[in-house]
Amino acid sequence: MAEKAVGWGPAVEDWLSSWTDLLTAPESVLWWPGLVIGLIGVAWFWRERRTWGSATDYWRELPIDAGCFLANSALPFLLAPWLLTLSLIGNRVGAALAGAVSGLSHTGEPGWPLLLASALAAFVVGDFALYWTHRLFHAVPWLWRTHRLHHAPPVLTPLTAFRFWPWEQGVHLSGNMLGQGLGLGLVAGLAGAQVPALTVLGVNAFMLVWGLAFAHLRHSPIPLAFPAWLSRWLISPHMHQLHHSLADEHRDRNFGTALALWDRMFGTYARPDHNERFRFGAGG
């Protein structure tokens, strides 16, 4: 995460200026190549449009989704000093833990294998943190009352991905940044020196690939499934749609954001049948 100017004024200015690059910046959730890939998915499954829900539902939910997107898009800028601090704390903890085990001392510029390992560690540990913050908001009743906003709509759109109260989104961002810092620190401790993550177009290479891997279809009615072997490792859009299902047997399944590994490790994994379709919503 790039360091931001300190203070509310500069943070708001940075946030407002980011809107000019909403479609062109690789770190943007609406980067145009990702949207194009999402549209390809929509076109591929257009034959199933009868299962997408009514237009009335989409128009009713749009103001809430758009308002949450607008509010939460400002959080990375407003919380930048806090998020950077968490990342640094995680980095130091990870380096101390791994350094105590390895005792290595690295000299010279790190090669691409170390850069790749650092990017992977940040991605994996950050995703692990998101699994647990997400699961926490389902497990604790008063947290669920907040998270219910995300599960309430009977239809899903890419904007549903931002449908959180800002304070909940702040928790998820904080957990993810702490996890990313911890992952970077673990690699640094093992290597004996700080190793930056491998980036592509200024973005962690693995996060960029994940952002392009039909991520916009996770919150949509498009039932895109991955092959069985890949679904053991990555959460497909179809698997995340199961997480939003109203059916009792799907309750508290597939908490993972990108990696299915955590759900398999902790007993919350479920892979839907290829032809399985869902009714969405939070229920009573």
CA distances for 157 relative to 52, 53, 59, 153, 219, angstroms: 10, 11, 11, 10, 5
What length does the chain have?
284
The residues spanned by each domain of the chain are 62-265
Rg (CA), the chain: 19
pTM of structure: 0.91
CA distances for 37 relative to 44, 85, 93, 256, 257, angstroms: 11, 35, 38, 22, 19
The whole-number pLDDT of residue 190 equals: 87
The whole-number pLDDT of residue 106 equals: 57
Which of 216, 198, 196, 194 lies closest to 206 in space, CA to CA?
Answer: 198
Ordered mean pLDDT values, 10 residues apiece, the chain (284 residues): 60 85 88 88 77 86 96 94 96 88 63 91 98 98 97 94 97 98 93 87 92 89 92 96 94 96 98 92 75
- Residue 280, strand partner residues: 245
Token reading at 220: 């949509």
